Structure 1
Amino acid sequence: MAATPDWDLLQSLHAVLEAGSFSAAARIRKLTQPTLGRHIDQLERQLGAPLFLRSPRGLQPTDLALAFRQHLGDMAAAAATAARDIDGLISGEGGVVRVTVSEIVGIEVIPPMMAQFRRAHPGIDVELVLDNKNADLTRRDADVAVRMTRPTQNSLVAKKVGDLHLGFHATPEYLEAHGVPTSFEDLQKHTLIGFDRAYPEIVDELAIGGGLDRPVTRDLFSYRTDNDVAQLAAMRAGVGIGVCQTQIARRAGLVPVAPHLFGFTLPIWICMHETLRGSPRMRLMFDHLAKEFAAYAAEAP
């Protein structure tokens, strides 16, 4: 290789590796597909070896392309960090803050908090990432995260602000029609709403709680979906009994079911990378979420 490849070409390679196709990568890069294809062709000429193979299964990266993947991810994260840090120095409290939360929290809990934040800080744009998997804050997949597990990375600033209580809930109408279960045996006679293919932590909590005469598998649930929001919608519609946060259940008009049988708590942590503590807008968001989620946790009985 005669010279270091141009960063613009490497960004196109990274986009193809992440997206899996030229067309999707072109949309990510905001380029035409022919332009992106020329970037890959030029990069292959510079490297003297192919980066992708075309097959009936689609685009297959070569070992050379895969060797670039981790390095390009790190470079992209570093570039994003530099851009945001420079933007923070220039714009002060203005700019963008990228926040990541779980799907259920992003839809049911955080919107009023963000409305309040935007009223107080109209110069700060908010990007909200809904993902039940923890974003990698060290790679700047997001700036600030709300997590329900204790952070383990040493490079994070993290604050526990309270606990969430979860338990069985249903509509009053469902319970009036089908009765209120008083034992796990009764509970298993009801329409239970739960997971399909995923295996969430709640399953372990059910097993630890004891009292079930069978393993906790998907077959225990007669209404199955891996989407927490869809489970809540089913509870609201009166499909059956499911598990959700006490605060969300109360707001949705649901009532607790057999709290003496089952319930558990999850911690609420607000996190950001330690390099962001000097950014005014990041600090504003961190402090705002810490305050609001502490109040949210205090709503629980």
Structure 2
Amino acid sequence: MNREPDWALWRSFAAVVANGSLSAAARELGISQPTVGRHVETLEADLGLTLFERTLTGLKPNSTALRLYEPVNTAQSALAEAAIMAEGAQDDLGGTVRITASAIISNYALPGLLVPIRQLYPRIALELVPSDSAENLLLREADIAIRMFRPTQLELVTRHLGDLPIVPAAHESYLARRGTPRAIEELYDHDMIGMDRSDAIIAHAQKLGLSLRREHFLLRSDEQTQMWELIRAGLGIGFAQANLVATTPGMVALPLDLRIPPLQVWLTTHRELFTSHRIRAIYDALAEGLTAYIHGRHFNR
């Protein structure tokens, strides 16, 4: 080895191996493609090794590169965790907290919950990430996550705040036109709103012995907020959080026992971030607000 390579070179190397090309690595790292190419060439020169085969389709990692990739990837994760620990050591109640939650919670619950939180902590900036995917807290895609399932990563601090019932619901304008179903079998005669690619509703119905098929949903979407807005507009019968139905003018929960499993609500952060004063402050305030929301207590909207 001629000299110890700079970490930036290893970072570019790992990005090329993981992404398969210089251009994709450059997009991930936010630098130019020529810079990534120079990093790879410099790393090979510093190590005295050839790491990639140059092909017409790009750079192909050889066996040596693949052996080196695992410890480099591990080092990246360790550095990310070190950054988290440094973040947690900060005592200042300024700065930024990034919160991710489902699209429904983000759009219809969080705005009201954040009114008193902003009054308590005006110097803390909040970044909100509405997402129904599992954001990675360890890699700092979020500081705090509101999950509808129990997280399993050992690095996380989690708190189960309660459960949100899911009910069949419709707008009163739809029920005025089409009538209110009093039995499960009557749903087949109504315009039902359901998922497009996901079969979660159908699978649950089949457990109840109902022969529900995709064709029974005359309006379909996999976007939770859009499904809710379709129901709220009076376009048919769908499924929604009971709290949201109860607090939305014109919405009616239908008297049908479909035994729909409730949504668990978990508040989650990285254990090292839990020592950050600002993140702990927002975490505790969110826990209080969400608990009130789960139990049907009113908040600012």
How much has 1:142 moved relative to structure 2? 2.7
Match among 218, 227, 236 for residue 240 of structure 1 = 236
How far apart are the structure 2 equivalents of 1:285 and 1:10?
A: 36
The equivalent residue for 2:262 is 265
1:188 aligns with 2:188: yes
How much has 1:125 moved relative to structure 2? 2.8
The equivalent residue for 1:152 is 152
Q: Deviations over 1:250-276 (max 9, x none)?
A: 344321123334543122111222223
TM-score, normalised by the number of residues in structure 2: 0.81
How has the CA–CA distance of structure 1 residues 21 and 153 changed in structure 2, closer, same or farther, with 3 Å as cutoff?
same
How much has 1:40 moved relative to structure 2? 4.0
How far apart are the structure 2 equivalents of 1:49 and 1:119?
A: 55
How has the CA–CA distance of structure 1 residues 32 and 136 changed in structure 2, closer, same or farther, with 3 Å as cutoff?
closer
How much has 1:151 moved relative to structure 2? 3.0
1:228 aligns with 2:224: yes
The answer to whether the Cα contact below 8 Å between 1:206 and 1:262 also exists between their aligned partners in 2 is no
How much has 1:139 moved relative to structure 2? 4.7
Code of the aligned partner of 1:48:
T
Equivalent runs, 1:88-127 vs 2, <5 Å: 88-127=88-127
5+ long unaligned stretches in structure 2: none
Q: Deviations over 1:163-213 (max 9, x none)?
A: 10111111111111112122232102222111111244x4443333x251x
How far apart are the structure 2 equivalents of 1:220 and 1:264?
A: 21
Equivalent runs, 1:47-196 vs 2, <5 Å: 47-50=49-52, 55=57, 62=61, 74-196=74-196
TM-score, normalised by the number of residues in structure 1: 0.81
How far apart are the structure 2 equivalents of 1:134 and 1:9?
A: 30
How far apart are the structure 2 equivalents of 1:90 and 1:258?
A: 51
The answer to whether the Cα contact below 8 Å between 1:170 and 1:241 also exists between their aligned partners in 2 is yes
The equivalent residue for 1:297 is 294
How has the CA–CA distance of structure 1 residues 74 and 124 changed in structure 2, closer, same or farther, with 3 Å as cutoff?
farther
Q: Deviations over 1:26-52 (max 9, x none)?
A: 455343343334334444555512278
The equivalent residue for 1:288 is 285
Q: How many residues are aligned here?
A: 294
The equivalent residue for 1:250 is 246
1:207 aligns with 2:206: yes
Code of the aligned partner of 1:279:
S
Percent of pairs identical after alignment?
Answer: 34
- RMSD of aligned alpha carbons: 3.2
The answer to whether the Cα contact below 8 Å between 1:156 and 1:274 also exists between their aligned partners in 2 is yes
How far apart are the structure 1 equivalents of 2:62 and 2:247?
A: 52
The answer to whether the Cα contact below 8 Å between 1:167 and 1:263 also exists between their aligned partners in 2 is yes
The answer to whether the Cα contact below 8 Å between 2:93 and 2:123 also exists between their aligned partners in 1 is yes
5+ long unaligned stretches in structure 1: none
How far apart are the structure 2 equivalents of 1:24 and 1:193?
A: 39
Code of the aligned partner of 1:11:
R
The equivalent residue for 1:278 is 275
Equivalent runs, 1:9-20 vs 2, <5 Å: 9-15=9-15
How far apart are the structure 2 equivalents of 1:61 and 1:123?
A: 48
The answer to whether the Cα contact below 8 Å between 1:93 and 1:281 also exists between their aligned partners in 2 is yes
Which has more radius of gyration? Answer: 2
Q: Deviations over 1:55-75 (max 9, x none)?
A: 4xxx78646666666655544
Code of the aligned partner of 2:31:
L
The answer to whether the Cα contact below 8 Å between 2:182 and 2:256 also exists between their aligned partners in 1 is no
Please give the secondary structure, in 2, of the residue aligned with 1:146.
strand
Q: Deviations over 1:236-259 (max 9, x none)?
A: 222211111112223443211233
The answer to whether the Cα contact below 8 Å between 2:202 and 2:214 also exists between their aligned partners in 1 is no
How has the CA–CA distance of structure 1 residues 175 and 100 changed in structure 2, closer, same or farther, with 3 Å as cutoff?
same
Q: Deviations over 1:117-156 (max 9, x none)?
A: 2332233232333332333434544322211222333443
